[in-house]
């Protein structure tokens, strides 16, 4: 191969890599804010184990709520333990989606195995992190 071909292949590879990272939201700034809210209704799965399984659990919860014609693009995670002081296998956390009250009641009534429904109290200030989630690469941001 001559030098021009190698240069063209290299530039193409870099362009494709940067394009994939851009699509995944890796160049979008993550915003942190504090809000006071009305009650929030959530459908979630309680988990024990490594935090890195959050994406997998969110996909499972999403598939389960879709079987009941419920859609949400507001995922959440609540992590209770410090991974520096707790064994990875003992880490406790929740992962799920924010849904309208009617959807939470629908799933709660159906008693979907593996899913829990709950309400996060209103009138309290919560820390929010907005992270674009387009693919697994979005977690690199």
Q: What is the structure's pLDDT at 47?
A: 92
Question: Does 46 fall in a domain?
Answer: yes
The CATH number for 84's domain is 3.20.80.10
Q: How far is 66 from 112, CA to CA, in rounded Å?
A: 12
Question: Does 131 fall in a domain?
Answer: no
- Which of the 8 DSSP states describes residue 26? T
In sequence order, what DSSP letters do the residues of 59-102 get, joined into one string?
Answer: HHHHHHHHTTT-----EEEEE-S-TTTS-GGG-EEEEEEEE-HH
Q: What is the structure's pLDDT at 90?
A: 94
Question: Does 113 fall in a domain?
Answer: yes
Local confidence band at 49 (pLDDT 50, 70, 90 cut-offs): very high
Question: Does 127 fall in a domain?
Answer: no
If one compares 27 and 59, the residue with the highest pLDDT of the two is 59
Q: What is the pLDDT of residues 14-33, one digit of tens each?
A: 888 877 777 776 677 777 78
Residue span of the structural domain in which 83 resides: 38-122
Mean pLDDT for all residues in the chain: 82
Instruction: Tell me: pLDDT of 50 over 90.
Output: yes
Question: Does 135 fall in a domain?
Answer: no
Question: Does 133 fall in a domain?
Answer: no
Rounded to an integer, the average pLDDT of 81-103 is 90
Instruction: Tell me: pLDDT of 125 over 90.
Output: no
Question: Does 3 fall in a domain?
Answer: no
If one compares 60 and 135, the residue with the highest pLDDT of the two is 60
Structural domains of the chain, count: 1
Instruction: Tell me: pLDDT of 129 over 90.
Output: no
Question: Does 102 fall in a domain?
Answer: yes
β 116-120/40-48 pair status: antiparallel
């Amino acid at each position: 191969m001559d030098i021009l071909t190698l240069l063209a292949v290299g530039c193409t590879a870099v362009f494709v890599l940067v394009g994939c990272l851009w699509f995944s939201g890796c160049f979008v700034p993550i915003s942190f804010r504090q809000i006071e809210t009305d009650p929030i209704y959530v459908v979630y799965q309680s988990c024990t184990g490594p935090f890195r399984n959050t994406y997998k659990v969110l996909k499972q919860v999403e598939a389960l709520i879709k079987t009941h014609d419920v859609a949400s693009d507001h995922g959440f995670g609540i992590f209770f333990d410090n991974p520096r002081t707790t064994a990875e296998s003992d880490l406790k956390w929740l992962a799920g989606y924010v849904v309208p009250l009617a959807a939470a009641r629908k799933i709660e009534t159906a008693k979907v195995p593996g899913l829990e429904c709950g309400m996060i109290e209103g009138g309290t200030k919560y820390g929010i992190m907005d992270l674009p989630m387009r693919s697994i690469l979005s977690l690199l941001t």
